[in-house]
Amino acid sequence: MSSTMKLRVNVVTVEAPSTDSAAPTAQNPEHVAAIARAVLPTDREGFAVLHLDSRLRVRSIELVSIGTLDYTVVHPREVFKAAILQNAASIVLVHNHPSGDTTPSEEDQHLTDRIRKAGELLGIDVVDHVIIAGENHFSMARGR
C-alpha cells in the first residue's frame, strides 16, 4: 500500500506587464496597502503575505488566514510555506483591523517578532508588517 501526499498552496501570482520593471513594488506601505486590499476581507480579520524578489517587486500574494471580527490565527510555518515555494527573497506581512484602528496590538507585535526570527533562520527577510484599517494603514517598520 503506497501513500501519496498532496501539497496544496493557494497563491495569487501578480501579473506584470511585459517587463519585470513594471511589476508592482512593495517599496512603501502605501503600495503594500493598495495591493493587499484586493485580497483581504473587510468584515473580519485577514492575514496576507506579499512575496518579493530581490528588488522588492511583488511576485505573488497569499491570503494565509481569515479569522473573526477581531482575531485571526497565523503560524510562521504557514507564512513561509508559499514564500519558499515562490523563491521569495523577502516578504511583507499585512493584515487588517475591521475595527478601524490601525494601532498594532501586543499580539501583532509578538507575531511579527516570531515571524522575523523564523525568516532569519530561512534567509527570507521580513521587510514590514502593514496593518490596514479602512482607508488608513500603519507600517510597523516605520512606526506610522
pLDDT digits (tens, 9 = 90+) for 82-113: 999 999 999 999 999 999 999 999 999 999 99
Q: Which residue has the higher pLDDT, 20 or 48?
A: 48
Query: 2 lies in a domain?
Result: no
DSSP H or E run through 64:
strand 58-66
Query: 93 lies in a domain?
Result: yes
Question: According to the model, what pLDDT value does residue 20 have?
Answer: 57
Identity of the amino acid at 21: S
Query: 99 lies in a domain?
Result: yes
Total domains in the fold of the chain:
1
Q: What are the tens digits of pLDDT across the range 26-46?
A: 879 999 999 999 999 999 999
Lowest-confidence range among 23-27, 56-60, 132-136? 23-27
CB atoms within 10 A of CB 59: 20
Sheet holding 58-66, edge to edge: 12-13, 58-66, 46-52, 90-96, 125-133, 136-139
Question: According to the model, what pLDDT value does residue 18 have?
Answer: 39
Query: 28 lies in a domain?
Result: yes
Give the whole-angstrom CA distance, residue 108 versus residue 61.
Answer: 20
Query: 4 lies in a domain?
Result: no
Identity of the amino acid at 2: S
Q: What are the tens digits of pLDDT across the range 6-19?
A: 655 566 555 444 34
CATH number at residue 107: 3.40.140.10
The angle, 0 to 180 degrees and rounded to 10, between the axes of the packed helices 76-85 and 106-122 is 40
Query: 26 lies in a domain?
Result: yes
Query: 53 lies in a domain?
Result: yes
pTM of the complete model: 0.85
Cβ proximity of 70 and 43 under 8 Å: no
Q: What value, to the nearest 5°, has the Cα angle with vertex 137 and ends 62 and 108?
A: 65
Task: Provide the residue range defining the domain that includes 71.
Answer: 12-139
Query: 1 lies in a domain?
Result: no
Pairing of strands 46-52, 12-13: unpaired
Average the pLDDT over 41-56 and give the result.
95
